C-alpha cells in the first residue's frame, strides 16, 4: 500500500510539473507572438538568424563533404600505391616457392612478416608504419588445392564479401568498411589485389585504419559548428544594430505623431544629417506645420461662425420681439379684418412661431458647438418624459392622422439624465416620425437593463434610402426638399438631438429602408460615467417587413 501511495504521489507530482511546463510554454509562446507582431526589430533579427542559419548549415555541409572527399581521395590514392608495392614484395617472396608444398605457407607468412615489419616495402624504403598511406594491417589468403575452404593468414574474416569477390576475379578493388574490434567499432579502408606470380589463387588485402581521418573530420566539424555559431551571433548583433538604426527614427516619428494627434501641435522631429531619415523628419515637420496652420484656420473660422450665429440670433431677438408684439395685436383683432387679411394675420403668427423656434435652435446648437452646455442630470423615470413628449406632439399627430403607440415597461425606467434634453430628443423623433409616417401608426418603445436604457421610435412611412441613415442627422438636411412637413421644423432638430445624446454619453442611431419605414434608437447610460452596454432593443426592428394598415386615430398608453 505504501508503494502504491508513493507511486500515485510521484505520478501526481510529475503530472503537475508537466502541466506547469505546458502553461509556461504557452505563456512564453503568446508573449513571443505578441512581441513578434509589435516589434519590427525582433522580426528582422529573427528572420536574419533563420536565413543565416540555413546558409551556414548548407555551407558547412558543403565544406565538410569537400574536406571528407579530399581526405578519402588522398588516402585511397596512397593506399593504392602502397598495395601495388606490397604485391611486389609478395611476388619476390614467392619466387622459387613450391606451390604444392608447405613452403608456400612459409613464404606467405614471411611475406606478411615483411609487410608488417618497419623495414619492408617495394624498394625497402617505405613500410607499414611510415608509408605515405599510413599504418596498415596486411592480410594474405589462398585456396588449398584439394580443399574448398579458404585458409587465411591474418584477419581475413573482416574483409567484406563484395571486396573478396572482386579480388578473386583478378581485379584490384577498395572499400570503406566498419568492423567490430575489441568491443568497439573501427572503420578501415580495405584495398585488395590478386597476386599472380604463383600458380595458385592468392589475394592480398591491406587494411588502412581511418582513425586519423575521422579525427580530422571531427575537428573540422567542431570548428565549423563553433564558427557557425559565432557567425550567427555576429550576424544577429549586426542585424540588431542595423535594424535599430532604422527602427529608432521610425519610433521617434510614431511618438511625435501620437503627441501631435493628442493636441501638441508644436511637436516636431529632430533633423539630424542629410540621409533618408533626415528627409523623413523634414517632410514630417513640414506636414505638421501645414496641418497646424490649417487647424488654426479652421478653429478661427469655426469661432467666427459660431460667434456670427450667436450674435445674429441675439440681435434678431429684439426686432422679433417687436414684430411679435405687433403680430399679436393684429391677431387679436383679426375678427375685425376682411377674411383675406385675417388669414394673413394667422399665417404671420405661425411663421413667427417657426422663426422663434429656429432662433432658439440656432442658439442651442451654437452653445453645443462652443462646448459651453452643461448637463443637469438627475435620476428620473424616463416613462414620464416619454408621456410628456407624446403630449407635446399630440396635436401634430391628430392633424396628420397618425396614431402614436407607447410601449412602456411596467417597472420604473429610472436613469440619471437631463429631463429637458431627453424630452427634446423624444419630441423631435416623434415629430419626425409623424412627418414621414404617411399617416400610419408611430410606435415608441422603451426598455432597459442594468447599464443601458434604450428608446426606439418606429414609423412605417417612406423610409430611408441607402446611405441616408448617416445623413439624416446633418444640419438642414432633407431627403426630399419638396415634401410637405406637418411640423414646420427648422431642420436642426435631429442634429441637436444627436448632440444631446452625446452629452449624456449615449448615442442616437437610425435605420430605414424605402417603403418599410424607419427606426430611430436612442441609447442612454442609466448612470453617468458608466459605459453603454448591449442594447436591449435592436436597431433593425423585428417587424421591418410588417405591413401596417392605416387605423383610426387612437392612443395606446
What would the CATH number be for the domain defined by 76-217? 3.30.450
- 553: closest CA among 471, 437, 473? 437
User: What tens digit of pLDDT does each residue of 323-365 get?
Assistant: 778 778 777 877 887 887 878 887 887 777 777 777 666 667 6
pLDDT category at 381 given cuts 50, 70, 90 is very high
Least confident of 15-29, 168-182, 408-422, 511-525: 15-29
370 pLDDT exceeds 70? no
557 pLDDT exceeds 80? no
What's residue 96's pLDDT?
Answer: 60
What's residue 548's pLDDT?
Answer: 41
4 pLDDT exceeds 70? no
The C-alpha atoms of residue 511 and residue 458 are separated, in whole angstroms, by 10
Q: Which helix (H) or strand (E) holds 262?
A: none
Return the higher-pLDDT residue of 482 and 452. 452
User: What tens digit of pLDDT does each residue of 89-146 get?
Assistant: 877 777 765 555 556 667 777 777 777 765 444 444 334 444 566 778 888 877 633 2
518 forms beta bridges with 459, 512
What's residue 522's pLDDT?
Answer: 93
- Contact present, 136 and 81 (Cβ < 8 Å): no
Q: What is the mean pLDDT of the chain?
A: 78
What's residue 347's pLDDT?
Answer: 80
Work out the average pLDDT over 265-285.
81
Highest mean pLDDT among 39-53, 252-266, 384-398: 384-398
Query: To which residue does cell 569477390 refer?
Result: 165
DSSP 556: B
The C-alpha atoms of residue 554 and residue 556 are separated, in whole angstroms, by 6
Q: For residue 373, how many other CB atoms are within 10 A of its CB? A: 16
What's residue 313's pLDDT?
Answer: 66
pTM for this one? 0.46
What's residue 442's pLDDT?
Answer: 92
- 194: closest CA among 143, 244, 238? 143
43 pLDDT exceeds 90? no
b/e sequence 16-33, b meaning 16+ C-beta within 10 Å: eeeeeeeeeeeeeeeeee
DSSP 193: E
Strand order in the sheet with 137-143: 150-153, 137-143, 202-209, 184-195, 173-181
User: What tens digit of pLDDT does each residue of 508-531 get?
Assistant: 999 988 888 899 999 999 988 888
- At the second CATH level, the architecture of 375-525 is 2-Layer Sandwich (3.30)
- 382: closest CA among 416, 429, 405? 416
- Contact present, 270 and 288 (Cβ < 8 Å): no
User: What tens digit of pLDDT does each residue of 427-440 get?
Assistant: 889 988 998 888 88
114 Cβ contact list (under 8 Å, min separation 6):
89, 93, 120
For residue 186, CA distances in Å to 176, 208, 217, 419, 523 come to: 11, 11, 15, 98, 86
Least confident of 300-304, 385-389, 463-467: 300-304
For the chain, the structural domain boundaries read 76-217, 375-525
pLDDT category at 321 given cuts 50, 70, 90 is confident
What's residue 371's pLDDT?
Answer: 64
37 Cβ contact list (under 8 Å, min separation 6):
none
The phi-psi region of residue 60 (left if phi > 0; otherwise alpha if psi is between -120 and 50; otherwise beta) is alpha
64 pLDDT exceeds 80? yes
Amino acid at each position: 500500500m505504501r508503494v502504491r501511495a508513493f507511486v500515485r504521489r510521484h505520478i501526481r507530482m510529475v503530472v503537475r510539473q508537466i502541466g506547469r511546463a505546458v502553461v509556461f510554454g504557452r505563456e512564453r509562446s503568446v508573449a513571443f507572438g505578441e512581441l513578434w507582431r509589435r516589434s519590427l526589430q525582433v522580426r528582422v533579427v529573427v528572420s536574419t538568424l533563420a536565413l543565416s542559419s540555413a546558409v551556414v548549415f548548407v555551407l558547412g555541409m558543403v565544406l565538410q563533404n569537400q574536406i571528407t572527399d579530399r581526405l578519402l581521395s588522398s588516402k585511397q590514392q596512397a593506399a593504392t600505391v602502397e598495395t601495388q608495392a606490397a604485391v611486389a614484395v609478395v611476388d619476390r617472396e614467392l619466387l622459387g616457392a613450391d606451390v604444392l608444398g608447405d613452403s608456400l605457407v612459409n613464404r606467405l607468412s614471411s611475406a606478411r612478416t615483411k609487410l608488417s615489419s618497419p623495414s619492408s616495402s617495394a624498394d625497402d624504403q617505405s613500410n607499414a608504419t611510415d608509408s605515405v598511406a599510413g599504418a596498415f594491417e596486411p592480410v594474405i589468403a589462398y585456396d588449398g588445392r584439394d580443399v574448398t575452404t579458404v585458409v587465411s593468414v591474418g584477419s581475413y574474416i573482416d574483409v567484406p564479401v563484395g571486396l573478396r569477390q572482386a579480388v578473386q576475379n583478378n581485379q584490384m578493388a577498395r572499400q570503406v568498411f566498419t568492423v567490430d574490434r575489441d568491443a568497439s567499432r573501427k572503420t578501415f579502408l580495405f584495398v585488395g589485389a590478386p597476386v599472380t606470380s604463383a600458380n595458385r589463387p592468392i589475394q592480398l588485402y591491406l587494411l588502412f585504419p581511418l582513425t586519423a581521418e575521422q579525427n580530422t573530420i571531427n575537428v573540422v566539424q567542431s570548428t565549423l559548428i563553433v564558427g557557425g555559431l559565432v557567425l550567427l551571433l555576429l550576424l544577429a548583433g549586426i542585424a540588431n544594430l542595423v535594424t535599430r538604426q532604422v527602427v529608432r527614427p521610425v519610433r521617434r516619428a510614431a511618438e511625435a505623431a501620437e503627441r501631435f494627434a493628442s493636441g501638441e501641435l508644436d511637436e516636431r522631429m529632430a533633423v539630424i544629417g542629410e540621409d533618408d531619415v533626415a528627409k523623413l523628419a523634414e517632410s514630417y515637420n513640414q506636414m505638421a506645420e501645414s496641418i497646424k496652420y490649417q487647424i488654426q484656420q479652421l478653429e478661427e473660422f469655426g469661432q467666427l461662425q459660431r460667434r456670427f450665429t450667436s450674435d445674429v440670433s441675439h440681435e434678431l431677438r429684439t426686432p422679433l420681439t417687436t414684430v411679435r408684439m405687433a403680430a399679436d395685436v393684429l391677431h387679436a383683432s383679426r375678427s375685425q379684418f376682411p377674411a383675406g387679411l385675417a388669414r394673413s394675420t394667422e399665417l404671420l403668427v405661425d411663421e413667427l412661431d417657426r422663426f422663434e423656434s429656429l432662433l432658439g435652435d440656432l442658439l442651442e446648437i451654437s452653445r453645443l458647438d462652443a462646448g459651453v452646455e452643461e448637463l443637469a442630470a438627475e435620476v428620473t423615470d424616463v416613462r414620464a418624459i416619454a408621456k410628456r413628449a407624446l403630449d407635446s406632439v399630440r396635436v401634430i399627430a391628430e392633424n396628420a392622422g397618425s396614431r402614436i403607440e407607447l410601449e412602456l415597461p411596467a417597472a420604473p425606467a429610472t436613469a440619471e439624465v437631463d429631463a429637458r434634453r431627453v424630452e427634446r430628443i423624444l419630441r423631435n423623433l416623434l415629430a419626425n416620425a409623424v412627418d414621414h409616417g404617411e399617416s400610419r401608426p408611430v410606435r415608441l418603445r422603451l426598455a432597459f437593463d442594468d447599464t443601458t436604457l434604450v428608446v426606439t421610435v418606429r414609423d412605417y412611412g417612406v423610409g430611408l434610402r441607402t446611405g441616408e441613415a448617416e445623413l439624416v442627422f446633418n444640419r438642414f438636411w432633407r431627403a426630399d426638399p419638396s415634401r410637405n412637413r406637418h411640423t414646420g421644423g427648422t431642420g436642426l432638430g435631429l442634429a441637436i438631438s444627436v448632440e444631446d445624446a452625446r452629452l449624456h454619453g449615449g448615442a442616437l442611431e437610425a435605420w430605414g429602408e424605402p417603403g418599410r419605414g424607419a427606426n430611430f434608437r436612442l441609447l442612454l447610460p442609466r448612470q453617468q460615467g458608466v459605459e453603454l452596454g448591449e442594447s436591449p432593443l435592436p436597431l433593425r426592428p423585428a417587424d421591418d417587413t410588417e405591413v401596417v394598415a392605416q387605423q383610426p386615430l387612437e392612443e395606446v398608453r
